[in-house]
Chains A and B, each alone.
Chain A
Amino acid sequence: MFDNVFGIHERALYAAADRVSVLATNIANADTPNYKARDYDFAAALSDATQGGDLTLTRTHVGHLAIGGQGGAPGELKYRIPFQPSLDGNTVEAPVEQAKFAENAVRFQTSLDFINRSIATLQTAMTGQ
């Protein structure tokens, strides 16, 4: 009954937490020569995470292998295409990364808020007050 109580937000929280560290790495390596900025495609990662959870095949024979079911790959890390490549081969653009970081932090807090509300709703239902 409580398996899917937080809906999409549980997986969104995982995706956002992963992405925070990728963006932090980009900002940390803002001055490293030849470092290539990386990022997840958030929408693709989320749809992977949600669809992967429901993806099961019907097995009509005992010899069929069971696939899918557990999570699935959380999207692939891709390299960012810079607006203005720099001479030292670094593709980190500080304003872009900071904007993405702020956006991701908001996504994280949103998911956290939704989960908090779900918990509050359940607590209200349990205590009946």
Chain B
Amino acid sequence: MSLLGIFDISGSAMNAESMRLNVTASNLANADSVAPSAQAAYRSRHPVFATRLREFSANPELDEPGVGVRVLDVIQSQAAPAKRYQPDHPLADATGYVYGSNVNPVEELTNMISASRSFQGNVEVMTTARELVLKTLTLGH
């Protein structure tokens, strides 16, 4: 495993974290959207991370350390959507209810902070790896 592999590892993590930020943005944007039925209501989405296995390695069974991260799936929250009685709402159903999203803004904001901190950590790793590689290149000069 060379130092250059770190760009791949940290890059995959930055990709996953930016996906998490994207999903958070989508959740927050839809926090106040309403729908005429519980099925159609917006459900908050969450990415699931998994360690990226070295599928294309010559020796996949080898216990190599250099593995990145990938987004396995984006799951939808199973929490019940907020049900509000608003008979004058244009989207209200026959009984006068509208269904809001099940987004929890506090959860989304903490998720956002965590994702941006992790992203920054990976940027630092990449910067350091870059410095080390460049210094190795000038060996003997």
Q: A25-B66, A109-B135, A116-B140 are in contact. Are A20 and B3 (CB under 8 A)?
A: yes
Closest Cβ–Cβ distance, residue B130 to chain A (whole Å): 11
B108 at the interface (CB under 8 A from A): no
Q: Is the interface on chain B under 10, 10 to 19, 20 to 34, or 35 or more residues?
A: 35 or more
A33-B129 contact given A21-B6, A77-B63, A94-B121, CB 8 Å threshold: no
CA distance A24 to B14 in the complex (A): 12
Q: Is A8 an interface residue (CB 8 A)?
A: no
Chain A proximity of B121: nearest CB distance (Å) = 5
> What residue in chain B is nearest A13 (Cβ atoms)?
B136
| B124 closest partner in A (C-beta) | A98
Q: Which positions in A face B, CB cutoff 8 Å? A: 17-18, 20-25, 27-33, 35, 38, 77, 94, 98, 101-102, 105, 108-109, 112, 115-116, 119
Cβ of B112 to closest chain A Cβ, rounded Å: 13
- With both chains docked as a complex, state the minimum distance between the C-beta of A3 and any C-beta of chain B, in angstroms: 17
Contacts of A21 in B (CB 8 A): 1-3, 5-6, 9, 65-66
Question: Are A25 and B68 in contact, CB atoms less than 8 angstroms apart?
Answer: yes
Apart from the given pairs A22-B66, A28-B13, 16 other A-B contacts in the complex at a CB distance below 8 Å: A24-B9, A24-B129, A27-B10, A30-B13, A30-B118, A31-B20, A31-B118, A32-B49, A38-B65, A94-B118, A102-B128, A112-B132, A112-B139, A116-B139, A116-B140, A119-B139
Say yes or no: is B79 at the interface (Cβ < 8 Å to chain A). no
Cβ < 8 Å to A, chain B residues 32-63: 48-51, 63
Please indicate the chain A residues that have their CB under 8 angstroms from the CB of B31 in the complex. Answer: none
Rounded to whole Å, the gap between the CB of B64 and the closest CB of chain A is 9
**Closest residue to B66 on the A side, CB-wise?**
A21
- Distance in angstroms from A10 CB to nearest chain B CB is 11
